[in-house]
Amino acid sequence: MDLPIRPRRNRKSAGLRALTRETLLSEGDLVLPLFIHDLEVDEAIESMPGCMRWSLASLVREAGEAMELGIPAVVLFPAIDDSLKSPGAEECFNREGLVPRAIRALKAAYPKLLVMTDVALDPYSSDGHDGLVKEGEILNDETVAVLCKQALCQAEAGADIIAPSDMMDGRVAALREALDREAYEGVSICSYTAKYASAFYGPFRGALGSAPKAGDKKTYQMDPANRREAGREVRLDEEEGADMVMVKPAGAYLDIISDVRGKTSLPVAAYQVSGEYLMIQSAAAAGWLDEEAVMMESLLAIKRAGADFILTYFAKKAARVLRS
Ligand code: PBG
């Protein structure tokens, strides 16, 4: 064939492929989500094979291993005993609660490890919603006031990055103001900016026993059908003072990651959520997919779409591959 232009020339050898590679994934791009509970023993999570609910001692060990692997940050999710849940979710701002104790233990053991915390009421709410519920409605402004107390409690314990995942309107501005008022101006806000009402969160709610008792989250989380609306949320979060913006889920929302990347100069995070993890993990466990290859490809795709960093249950496994 008379073919002067042959794209395959750039793929001819490993060296050429390395030179022409557009996207690089590194362990420094990963954040490890960790589930914790207030027990001395660790517990396998039935809805998320391969993940555990850790005791505080094990949490510290896990985080230490992640750090050794070059992972810069962990994010904490607490399973709260039913006896501590209430309609007002007051346990979320208990200074001696599970999360503040976990933060203090982690920062004492590894001052350089970044500790990121989830700001939302669902683990603490007897209704299982991210906000306060009144006659079936999720209250916005009243919820924001509680979120501020929760964030202050986490900041006081030493959290580096607080991550509101509740999707209430105006919470980023309110959190920034509350933190600054108490002289926590050094604490970052990573906002779950475009968080969709997704069925991919199912296994996570099993891990925490935090599924809504009634209704769904569609009046606060975004409609999966909407793309332009993500741009609106980004603009608001940027104006309200977010330091980083997040898209969640990741794999089925690469168009949103790409859009958000184009609309802001802030760092963009993406969350490869529990359902995404399980699709790969379970197919691999059945012998149907090559876990390592598919895991790495899924993470690379999220970066290629425009994410600067990725929250993923594969963080340690992926870091090991990247280091080998
Ligand atoms: C709670 C929260 C959820 C996730 C992170 N924070 C669940 C939800 O919104 O119902 C999901 C994470 C995952 O599925 O891995 N605010």
Tell me the per-residue pLDDT of 26-47, one tens digit each, with 9 for 90 and over: 999 999 999 999 999 999 999 9
What is the pLDDT confidence band of residue 269, given thresholds at 50, 70 and 90? Answer: very high
* Residue 159 in domain: yes
- The SS3 of residue 117 is strand
CA distance 205 to 172: 24
Q: What is the mean pLDDT of residues 21-30?
A: 98
The neighbouring-strand residues paired with 35 are: 53, 77
CA 137 to chain centre: 25
Q: Sort strands 30-36 and 43-44 into parallel, antiparallel or unpaired.
A: unpaired
Tokens of 146: 């509680």
> Ligand 1: does its nearest atom lie under 6 Å from the Cβ of 120?
yes
Calculate helix-pair angle for 315-323, 56-68, nearest 10 degrees.
Answer: 30
Amino acid at 204: F
* Residue 136 in domain: yes
* Residue 65 in domain: yes
Calculate how far, in angstroms, residue 293's C-alpha sits from the geometric centre of ligand 1: 26
**Average pLDDT of the chain, as a whole number:** 97
Tokens of 229: 């609306």
Task: List Cβ neighbours of 56 (8 Å cut-off, separation of 6 or more).
Answer: 36, 101, 102, 105
CA distance 233 to 167: 10
* Residue 53 in domain: yes
* Residue 19 in domain: no
Q: HSE-up of 240 (CA within 13 Å, CB side)?
A: 25
Alpha helices in 209-249 (DSSP H): 228-240
Looking at residue 206, its pLDDT comes to 87
Looking at residue 243, its pLDDT comes to 98
| CA distances for 103 relative to 82, 266, 269, angstroms | 22, 26, 21
> Ligand 1: does its nearest atom lie under 6 Å from the Cβ of 35?
no
* Residue 127 in domain: yes
Looking at residue 148, its pLDDT comes to 98
Q: What is the mean pLDDT of residues 58-76?
A: 98
Single pTM value for the model: 0.97
Q: What is the CATH number of the domain that holds 314?
A: 3.20.20.70
Which ligand 1 atom is nearest residue 272's CA? Answer: 15
Q: What is the mean pLDDT of residues 293-317?
A: 98
Calculate how far, in angstroms, residue 64's C-alpha sits from the geometric centre of ligand 1: 24
pLDDT digits (tens, 9 = 90+) for 157-184: 999 999 999 999 999 999 999 999 999 9
Measured between alpha carbons, how far apart are the two ends of the chain, in Å? 41
195 carries an active-site annotation: yes
CA distance 272 to 1: 44
Please answer whether residues 212 and 128 qualify as being in contact, where contact means their C-beta atoms are separated by less than 8 angstroms.
yes
The parent domain of residue 295 ranges over: 25-323
CA distance 155 to 177: 13
Give me the catalytic one of 12, 107, 149, 248: 248
Number of domains in the chain: 1
> Ligand 1: does its nearest atom lie under 6 Å from the Cβ of 165?
yes
* Residue 252 in domain: yes
* Residue 181 in domain: yes
pLDDT digits (tens, 9 = 90+) for 194-245: 999 999 999 999 888 889 999 999 999 999 999 999 999 999 999 999 999 9
